[in-house]
Amino acid sequence: MRIDLITLFPQMFDAVSKYGVVGRAVQNKKLDLCFWNPRDFANNKHNSVDDRPYGGGPGMVMQYQPVSDAIDTAKKQNKNALVIYLSPQGNSINQQELNSLLCQDGLIFLNGRYEGIDERIIEAKVDREYSLGDFVLSGGELASMVLIDCMARLMPGVLGHDESALQDSFMEGLLDCPHYTRPEVVEDLKVPDVLLSGDHKAIKRWRLKQSLGRSYLRRPDLIQKLELTSEQKVLLNEYLDEINHSTRI
């Protein structure tokens, strides 16, 4: 997949493109990251890309022309790409949205700075706006890096084991189950017996029960969005009984 990034600070992306999962995806040519700096498209001698906001107020706003030209240039090489603006005003991104982005022919991530970008860019050039949550970053670059990392791990052949991504939190609308590794006992804390049993059916059942229970206690909104099967309801009630929780569903 090709992702073009409109950013004033392309060097920031070295933090993900040269290391870890994303670095592996780039090295294995599963992911192609291309950068376009709006300053290179500025039509003034100082290469400035921002100006004061109409109506007054603090801060500066990224101008239409250099950002628009950067997007248009990226689109010439990434023809059917979806233009994504990373913004606190966008829809909250989730695992399902990330899966849908992977199905696109290409992506262009627009990274704002200062007080934001001229609204006419959003009206004329942007296909979707996404937010990481109800907080404000200094720019869109960190949000873009998060999305790139999340998508890279979903690309076949990037992770050491393709099923690793399928077991992540939120892939089935639930939080992930607990995980353990050697040694079996640490400071009187023991690995659950079922995980040592070799009974794969029992292990699968235990893991689903833990995912349901954790989601119910930590993220009840996730449970509310799901239509639980009769088996899932039984497992969740077992979990609540085991921890002596007063509520049953």
* Residue 152 in tokens: 């890279």
Within this chain, do residues 214 and 96 fall inside the same structural domain, yes or no? no
Kindly report the average pLDDT of the chain as a whole number. 93
Residue 132 belongs to what domain range? Answer: 2-152
Instruction: Report, in this order, helix, strand and coil percent for the chain, each rounded to 5.
Output: 45, 15, 40
Within this chain, do residues 128 and 187 fall inside the same structural domain, yes or no? no
Residue 219 a catalytic site member? no
Within this chain, do residues 179 and 131 fall inside the same structural domain, yes or no? no
Domain end marker among 129, 152, 175: 152
Residue 153 a catalytic site member? yes
Q: What pLDDT sits at residue 224?
A: 94
Residue 10 a catalytic site member? no
Residue of 2, 53, 69, 88 marked active site = 88
Residue of 115, 129, 172, 238 marked active site = 115
Q: Give per-residue pLDDT as tens, 180-206.
A: 999 999 999 999 999 999 999 999 999
Give the CA distances from residue 68 to residues 61, 203, 227, in Å, rounded to whole numbers and listed in that order. Answer: 14, 53, 44
> Could you tell me the pTM of the whole model?
0.84
Within this chain, do residues 79 and 132 fall inside the same structural domain, yes or no? yes
Indicate the angle between helix axes 95-102 and 141-152, nearest 10 degrees: 80
Of residues 180, 214, 213, the one with CA closest to residue 194: 180
Decide if 157 is inside a domain.
Answer: no
Residue 162 pLDDT > 70, yes or no? Answer: no
Domain end marker among 152, 175, 192: 152
Q: Give per-residue pLDDT as tens, 112-133.
A: 999 999 999 999 999 999 999 9
**More reliable by pLDDT, 168 or 240:** 240
Residue of 69, 97, 129, 168 marked active site = 168
Q: What pLDDT sits at residue 29?
A: 95
Within this chain, do residues 21 and 72 fall inside the same structural domain, yes or no? yes
Q: What is the 3-state secondary structure (H, E, C) of 178-229?
A: CCCCCCCEECCEECCHHHHCCCHHHHHHHHHHHHHHHHHHHCHHHHHHCCCC
Confidence bin at 170 (pLDDT 50/70/90): low
Within this chain, do residues 142 and 171 fall inside the same structural domain, yes or no? no
Residue 163 a catalytic site member? no
Length of the chain: 249
Q: Domain total for the chain?
A: 2
The stretch 159-167 carries a mean pLDDT of: 57
Q: Give per-residue pLDDT as tens, 45-82.
A: 899 999 999 999 999 999 999 999 999 999 999 999 99
Supply the CATH number for residue 183's domain: 1.10.1270.20
